[in-house]
Amino acid sequence: MTDTVKQHRDLSNAKDMIVCQGVNKWYGDFQALSDITATVKETEVVVVLGPSGSGKSTWIRCVNRLEHHQSGNIIVDGVELTNDVRNIEKIRSEVGMVFQQFNLFPHLTVLDNITLAPKWVRKLPKAEAEEKAMELLEIVGIPEQADKYPGQMSGGQQQRVAIARALAMEPRIMLFDEPTSALDPEMIKEVLDVMKGLARSGMTMMVVTHEMGFAREVADRIIFMEDGEIVEVGTPEHFFTDPEEDRTKLFLSQIL
């Protein structure tokens, strides 16, 4: 039975976790993001959909300041993203990110991958960081792999380690940039299950994905983007059954 509890939650009183106001970004001549305005509430799960090249990855990376937006404001957990040295570090340790290509550190064991940032950014003692890491590996279901190197694991296992690595920083927001796109079909489920569990635990999440099932099941809201613009925003039922915009309809007809 799918968990549909979240879909009818009233989040209007919840705190704003991510606020984007009129965000623009260009790559030379090409405008990657135009006038993005959106808000993500605490504990909300937002899924960003859209054809490839629609700017959804760029947006999510701007939220983590891996890319710099050129105008507008992005406010994450009350802190505005600017060139301020201090804010960048602060935001990054508040926001966890999971990449399409996992990006585990190949020269470190799984355990070292997870404990690296807690030790050096959160300044946790080694023993505590390792204990925490083992708990997280337990949660993502691969405690026995702690001493392996990433190269010795399957893609699904690597992505679960990547999630554990991001969680080890105890972030308040998790960003997922197409976490299942580089996986073989039989491994997608194990990663999605971990993400569903995370959503149920009340984590604020922003997910870029092509997994429509996941979007329908877990999302509180769906944002549809095309050509760097937000085309439509709505609840999953509304979005999948009764979309307003023609572009959304076209997109849905192509993928469903």
Spatial CA neighbour of 233 closest among 36, 10, 16, 24? 36
What are the backbone angles phi and psi of residue 179, rounded to the nearest 5°? -70, -20
End-to-end CA distance of the chain: 22
CB of 55: closest distance to another protein in angstroms? Answer: 13
Spatial CA neighbour of 63 closest among 85, 91, 24, 35? 91
**What residues numbered 161-180 form the site for another protein, per CB under 8 A?**
162, 165-166, 169
Per-residue contact track with another protein, 96 to 135, x per CB under 8 A?
A: xx-x-x-xxxxx--------xx-xxx-xxxx---------
Residue of 72, 141, 143, 155 that binds another protein (CB under 8 A): 72
Interface size with another protein, residues (CB under 8 A) = 54
Taking the C-alpha atoms of residue 152 and residue 167, their distance in angstroms, rounded to an integer, is 22
Per-residue contact track with another protein, 213 to 252, x per CB under 8 A?
A: ----------------------------------------
Q: Is 139 in the site for another protein (CB under 8 A)?
A: no
Q: Is 34 in the site for another protein (CB under 8 A)?
A: yes
CB of 46: closest distance to another protein in angstroms? Answer: 18
Residue of 151, 253, 254, 255 that binds another protein (CB under 8 A): 151
CA angle in degrees (0–180, nearest 5) for 208-211-215: 75
Spatial CA neighbour of 173 closest among 200, 203, 202? 203
Taking the C-alpha atoms of residue 75 and residue 83, their distance in angstroms, rounded to an integer, is 13
Which strands, in side-by-side order, build the sheet including 45-49?
A: 95-98, 173-177, 204-208, 45-49, 221-226, 229-234
Q: Is 144 in the site for another protein (CB under 8 A)?
A: no
Q: Is 53 in the site for another protein (CB under 8 A)?
A: no
Taking the C-alpha atoms of residue 132 and residue 246, their distance in angstroms, rounded to an integer, is 48
Residue of 2, 10, 13, 28 that binds another protein (CB under 8 A): 28
Q: What residues have CB less than 8 Å from 173, skipping those under 6 apart?
A: 17, 18, 40, 76, 77, 94, 95, 96, 203, 204, 205, 206
| Region from 24-32, 40-48, 132-140, 194-202 binding another protein, contact rule CB under 8 A | 24-32
Q: Tell me the one-letter amino acid at 135.
A: E
CB of 22: closest distance to another protein in angstroms? Answer: 4
Positions touching another protein (CB under 8 A) are 21-22, 24, 26, 28-31, 34-35, 37, 61, 64, 66, 68, 70-73, 80, 82-89, 92-93, 95-97, 99, 101, 103-107, 116-117, 119-121, 123-126, 151, 162, 165-166, 169
